[in-house]
Amino acid sequence: MPEVALRLTRRNHNAFVHLLAALETQGYALGDILVSKSLEEIIRAKPKIVLYSFYSQEVWDVEREVKLLKERTGAILVVGGYHATAMPRHTLRMGFDIAVIGEGEEVLYELLTTLGRTGYKVTKDLLNVKGLAFYLGGEFTFTGFAKVMDFSKFPPYPEALRLISPMEISRGCPFACYYCQTPYMKGFRMRHRPIDQIVRYSRRMKDMRYITPNAFAYGSPGAILRLDKLEALLKALQPLRKEGRRLFYGTFPSEVRPEFVLPETLELLVQYTDTTRLAIGAQSGDDAMLKAMHRLHKVEHVVRAVELALEYGLEPVVDFIVGLPNETEESQRKSIELMKWIMRKGGKVRAHYFMPLPGTPWARCKPSPLSDEMKKFLGKMAAEGKIEGSWGMQIEISRRLQRLIEEFYEEPFSYHGKVLDICSDQKFITQAEVGTTVNAPRKL
């Protein structure tokens, strides 16, 4: 029976596919790991270590699983991901034994080989493995934030297991939106997989889809457009399209920032891809809210992006967050107006309710209640099938997250050290105090 088991879920699937590839590249025999979506199968296997990864929104379900795993396997429970990095003390309190802090590719290999050597126990040998938090002799111990400077040294998919997922082609984001965990976990500078590697492994996908914070920023540090690199990537994937694969770009599971939606980027999309829906992050119809959330674009960029997408024959699918901290009825009215306009024009809207996420500057901010007008609007649009998104369900998750963060708040570990804590003392810092707004990406 394998001594290591990995609990695969719908939400951690993509991350684990990439991590397994990294383990394999470093020489770890994947045949020694039971990779399973079935908790029962893992329990029956009685492994010595169980690997786990989850998001803050899943805490309550995961707690139940952790209890079962502890009681019925006695395994060392190792966990990574956004929640573990931002709230390691809380994560350990949930019942996990070791939290991986930061980017996991190298840590996991070091950790598994160390645990194998030391009889699957938490010992001081783990102090030599950077990127961990655990209790040693009752003391909370942190060995440093793990960073993988060049994530492309690890291929995206393992050879020994038939696992596939959309491919992570870029990592990190300079925009630092206050509600988003990505830049604080992966850094402010975008890093990219090289084109030849993307092409080589894209062969394994039938529909080629990619994971990136902003698909149009491929090849750039993040805030500028590198049309030459974007075109080179899309061009290089053409032989695979000719073999019958479809290429989807700037759409599920990634999206694009509105100010990157330009005639030049859309021309590339139309010429080189099979994309029919363009996923655009708008988040609010109120410039004041966009400024407060550090989006660094304006409503006019969203309007232009939607108009351009339609002009190029693409269906814009536009994301909004409602119930933002300090969002007034008037702000919500502006979002409603923009959503209505998008739908009238022929686009789609996806609505999400604000969820305070650990490790972000807005972690301690309170969601705002939805105005009656907003509730009525979203309800009517959802009933008519005109609006997508899980805003209804997210209201309850948001409340639970808020309570959890209030009760167990800890200063998060992050890629760049201290994370701004905008709403502690319920003081809301205006954007004027912390940054500026840019209008459009510079092109190189």
Rule CB under 6 A: is residue 177 a binding residue for ligand SF4?
Answer: yes
- In 283-371, which residue ranges form alpha helices assigned H by DSSP? 287-292, 299-311, 329-345
3-state SS, residue 271? helix
- Looking from the CA of 429 toward its CB, the CA atoms found within 13 Å total 16
Taking the complex as a whole, the smallest distance from the CB of residue 186 to ligand SF4 amounts, in Å, to 9
Among 16, 82, 157, 175, interactor with ligand SF4 by CB under 6 A: 175
Structure tokens at 78: 């190792």
Torsional class of 375: left (φ above 0), alpha (ψ -120 to 50), beta (otherwise): alpha
Residue-wise DSSP of 157-191:
S-SSS-----EE-EE--SS--TT-SHHHHH-SS-E
In angstroms, give the least distance from the CB of 217 to ligand SF4. Answer: 9
CA 253/CA 166 separation, integer angstroms: 8
Cα separation, 341 vs 409, whole angstroms: 40
In the complex, what is the shortest distance from the CB of residue 46 to ligand SF4, in angstroms, rounded to a whole number?
40
Question: Which 189-218 positions form the footprint of ligand SF4 (CB under 6 A)?
Answer: 213-214
Least distance from C-beta 380 to ligand SF4, angstroms? 28
Closest approach of Cβ 297 to ligand SF4, in Å? 9
Long-range contacts of 205-209 (CB under 8 A, 24+ apart): 205/164, 205/166, 205/167, 205/245, 206/245, 206/246, 207/245, 207/246, 207/248, 208/167, 208/237, 208/240, 208/245, 208/246, 208/247, 208/248, 209/166, 209/167, 209/248, 209/251, 209/252, 209/253, 209/254
Q: In whole angstroms, what is the distance from residue 167 CA to residue 247 CA?
A: 12
Site string for ligand SF4, 28-57 (x = CB under 6 A): ------------------------------
How far apart are CB 294 and ligand SF4 at their closest, in Å? 8
Q: Using CB under 6 A as the criterion, what x/- string covers residues 278-317 for binding ligand SF4?
A: ---x------------------------------------
Q: Which stretch binds ligand SF4 (CB under 6 A): 172-180, 262-270, 318-326, 431-439?
A: 172-180
Binding region for ligand SF4 (CB under 6 A) out of 25-33, 178-186, 231-239, 312-320:
178-186
Nearer to ligand SF4, 2 or 358 (CB): 358
CB atoms near residue 104 (< 10 Å) = 26
Q: How far is the CB of 415 from ligand SF4 (least distance, A)?
A: 12
Give the shortest CB-399-to-ligand SF4 separation in angstroms: 22
String marking each residue 222-261 x if it binds ligand SF4 according to CB under 6 A: -----------------------------------x----
Closest approach, Cβ 347 to ligand SF4, in A, equals 19
Q: Rounded to the nearest whole angstrom, what is the least distance from the CB of residue 283 to ligand SF4 in the complex?
A: 8
What stretch of H or E contains 4? strand 4-7
Instruction: Specify the stretch interacting with ligand SF4 by CB under 6 A; choose among 160-168, 175-183, 242-250, 345-353.
Output: 175-183
Q: Is 183 a residue that touches ligand SF4 (CB under 6 A)?
A: yes
318 binds ligand SF4 (CB under 6 A): no
- Select the span of 28-36, 117-125, 168-176, 420-428 touching ligand SF4 (CB under 6 A): 168-176
Lookup: tokens for 430: 């205006």
Q: Which of 12, 14, 170, 182 binds ligand SF4 (CB under 6 A)?
A: 182
Residue at token pair 């149009």: 216
Question: Is there a contact between 221 and 190 (Cβ–Cβ < 8 Å)?
Answer: yes
State how beta strands 4-7 and 33-36 pair: parallel
Amino acid (1-letter code) at residue 233 = L
Q: Which stretch binds ligand SF4 (CB under 6 A): 176-184, 232-240, 354-362, 432-440?
A: 176-184
Q: Which is nearer to ligand SF4, 175 or 272 (CB)?
A: 175
Say how many residues make up the chain: 444
Residue span binding ligand SF4 (CB under 6 A) among the ranges 89-97, 171-179, 268-276, 398-406: 171-179
Q: How many CB atoms lie within 10 A of CB 369?
A: 13
Of 51 and 190, the one with the shorter C-beta distance to ligand SF4 is: 190
Size of site (CB under 6 A) for ligand SF4: 11
Beta strand ranges found along 259-386 (DSSP E): 277-283, 315-322, 348-353
Contacting residue, 20, 86, 180, 381, with ligand SF4 by CB under 6 A: 180
* Binding footprint of ligand SF4 on the chain (CB under 6 A): 173, 175-177, 180, 182-183, 213-214, 257, 281
